[in-house]
Amino acid sequence: MMLKTFGFLPAALLAGLIGIVPAQAQDTGDARPVSQAERPPLDEMPQSFQLAYWLNQAALAFDELDYEDWAKASERLHALRPYNQDFMTHLVRAYAHQERFTEAYNMMLMMQQQGLAQEWSDYSELEPLRTHGLYEHLTTLMMSASEPFGESRVLSQLDDIEMPEALTYDSETDRKFIGTVRGGAILVSENNQAFTTFADEKSVPELMAVLDIEADSERRHLWVATAALKQWRGFRQSAAGRTSILQLDLDSGELIATHRLIPDRKPHAFGALEVASDGTVYAADMATPGVYRLQPGERHPQPFFRHSDFASTRGIALSDDDSKLYMADYEIGIFVVDTSDAGQAWKLFAPENLNEGGIDGLYWWNEHLVAIQNGIDPDRVLRLKLGEDGLGVVEVAPIVSALPQFDTPTYGMIIDDELVFLAGSHWHHVDANGRATGAGLPGIALMSTQLDSAKVLNVGQEMIQEMLERQGKDQNSSTDGG
């Protein structure tokens, strides 16, 4: 989930929420507190610690109405999490209050080019900007980003399914499958009829919250990522942090094998799966970020790729030749890993008009990546054309955005040239234990959209130049006293 407006929380409360505690020696059996003199410089410490520190500094500065220090802390937060829309918004507000117009407009321009929607009228700090023509121009464009875009159709309305999260498709039998978090069940639809139970805890006791499912139609296997989340109805504290990959028979739903992750005293939750052509299974861990690999014949998933800066690994996708694994971290964007050598990895090169934050589902289609994005405003589905080497994005195209059915879209599946996806989820409608917080859970639309129908979103140089020229005129006018 995206970090939200920490600058408005009291500093004391924020410190408790993010757990700022003295650093301690780890993984050595030595629990001796580390003295201040022994600590490395802040910028050499893990990003999680840096993030916690600067969040606390931002909260302190905001409490004291110290806009200069708020801007400094927000700049560090933006450097750590460049796609976080809240941090960008905080910077615009802090810059505007200090009449640092160039910095404020540059940040607004970047947000607009990334297709972000933002309502600026509620922020009194932006009053100095409102006399400039560029402010009205940018705010109009950013308001239009919240309008529905793209062509899609509703396939069915899921009114009685609690916390649907996973989708997959069996091309041999034309069946669609849905996995659920709350019930820990897998449902199936044949010939586009109503979904019925395919597997649940009665038939497969190893099932917990189902976070992803992948059909291997060739081998007739259904792979299941399941984890003991608190939102799962059968949750027991003794099982907290456990996760596994289940192998079911794709025709009968019978359990073939259970591939448990070997306990290591850390919480784990496999949230996304990808199956290679040779039957190798990759699994993204949301709780202790990283990717695991289960090769044919192995009993337990093995660590494949991880990095200390990852915040929450979500969707993963394999290139058509299985040579590259693309993985989306919810806060820091998309990475590319060489599957023949897990030590060889790159941050996906992307143009500045691509905001990579808040990606849940990630899929490969015809030399493109398709991303379902819910951690920014607006929620949207993007098509990203890759360069010849597969290491960078050369075109960004919105497929659908801000649809009225959207309520935190999560995951989907590709069927030929269509993306079929869940237009909403129940995460924001339940408490920490999975119980509905309102009168009832809203229905969720199962939707589809054509992947080859989107227009390429490319902020042309003419528009950028026009905005920069307008910005220069506004700044010169303010300098002259106009």
What pLDDT is stored for residue 453 in this prediction? 77
What letter represents residue 208's amino acid?
Answer: M
Q: How many domains does the chain have?
A: 2
Closest CA to 299 of 355, 340, 256: 256
Same domain for 50 and 33, yes or no, is yes
What pLDDT is stored for residue 305 in this prediction? 94
Closest CA to 468 of 138, 198, 76, 123: 138
For residue 482, being part of any structural domain is answered with no
CB atoms within 10 A of CB 139: 19
198-237 pLDDT, tens per residue? 999 999 999 999 999 999 999 999 999 999 999 999 999 9
Same domain for 332 and 294, yes or no, is yes
Closest CA to 120 of 77, 162, 91: 91
Query: Order of strands across the sheet with 209-216?
Result: 209-216, 221-227, 243-249, 255-260
Question: And the tokens for 74?
Answer: 């927000």
The answer to whether 336 and 346 are in contact (CB under 8 A) is yes
Same domain for 63 and 191, yes or no, is no
Question: What is the overall mean pLDDT for the chain?
Answer: 87
Look at 44-48, 57-61, 153-157, 333-337 and tell me which has the smallest mean pLDDT: 44-48
432 or 34: whose pLDDT is higher? 432
Same domain for 116 and 235, yes or no, is no
Q: Is the pLDDT of residue 480 over 60?
A: no
Same domain for 250 and 384, yes or no, is yes
What pLDDT is stored for residue 31 in this prediction? 40
pLDDT over 90 percentage in the chain: 79
CA distance 474 to 413: 47
Residue 15 confidence class, pLDDT cut points 50, 70, 90: very low
For residue 12, being part of any structural domain is answered with yes
For residue 93, being part of any structural domain is answered with yes
Closest CA to 309 of 41, 15, 48: 48
Residue 41 confidence class, pLDDT cut points 50, 70, 90: confident
CB atoms within 10 A of CB 349: 15
Half-sphere exposure of 472 (CA within 13 A, CB side): 6
Q: Which of 93, 119, 148 is the last residue of a domain?
A: 148
Q: Is the pLDDT of residue 385 over 90?
A: yes
What pLDDT is stored for residue 37 in this prediction? 55
Measured CA angle at 188 (ends 183, 194), to 5 deg: 95
Q: Which of 116, 148, 180 is the last residue of a domain?
A: 148
For residue 474, being part of any structural domain is answered with no
Same domain for 144 and 170, yes or no, is no
* DSSP code at position 179: E
361-376 as b/e: b if 16+ CB within 10 A: bbbbbeebbbbbbbbb
Residue with tokens 């934050």: 357
Same domain for 448 and 325, yes or no, is yes
CA distance 163 to 444: 9
Same domain for 174 and 120, yes or no, is no
For residue 175, being part of any structural domain is answered with yes
What pLDDT is stored for residue 10 in this prediction? 36
Same domain for 208 and 260, yes or no, is yes
β pairing state of 444-450 and 418-422: antiparallel
Same domain for 306 and 324, yes or no, is yes
| Ordered alpha helix ranges (H), 64-114 | 67-80, 85-97, 101-113
Q: Is the pLDDT of residue 259 over 80?
A: yes
Residue 478 confidence class, pLDDT cut points 50, 70, 90: very low
Q: Which of 81, 115, 148 is the last residue of a domain?
A: 148
What pLDDT is stored for residue 7 in this prediction? 36
Q: Is the pLDDT of residue 13 over 50?
A: no
What CATH number does the domain containing 207 carry? 2.120.10.30
CA distance 379 to 385: 20
439-457 pLDDT, tens per residue? 889 999 999 999 997 554 4
For residue 473, being part of any structural domain is answered with no
What pLDDT is stored for residue 38 in this prediction? 64
Q: Where are the beta strands (DSSP E) in 96-217?
A: 153-158, 164-170, 175-180, 186-190, 196-199, 209-216
CA distance 349 to 332: 12
Contacts of 244 (CB under 8 A, 6+ apart): 206, 226, 227, 258, 259, 260, 261, 270
Same domain for 226 and 353, yes or no, is yes
Same domain for 49 and 142, yes or no, is yes
Q: Where are the beta strands (DSSP E) in 94-182?
A: 153-158, 164-170, 175-180
CA distance 48 to 218: 42
CA distance 154 to 303: 39
What pLDDT is stored for residue 12 in this prediction? 34
Q: Is the pLDDT of residue 342 over 90?
A: no
Question: And the tokens for 269?
Answer: 């939750």
The pTM (predicted TM-score) of the whole model is 0.86
For residue 464, being part of any structural domain is answered with no
Residue 341 confidence class, pLDDT cut points 50, 70, 90: confident
Task: Please tell me whether residue 84 adopts helix, strand or coil conformation.
Answer: coil
What pLDDT is stored for residue 258 in this prediction? 98
176 or 457: whose pLDDT is higher? 176
Domain extent, residue 344, equals 153-453
The answer to whether 8 and 17 are in contact (CB under 8 A) is no
CA distance 64 to 97: 14
CA distance 322 to 377: 32
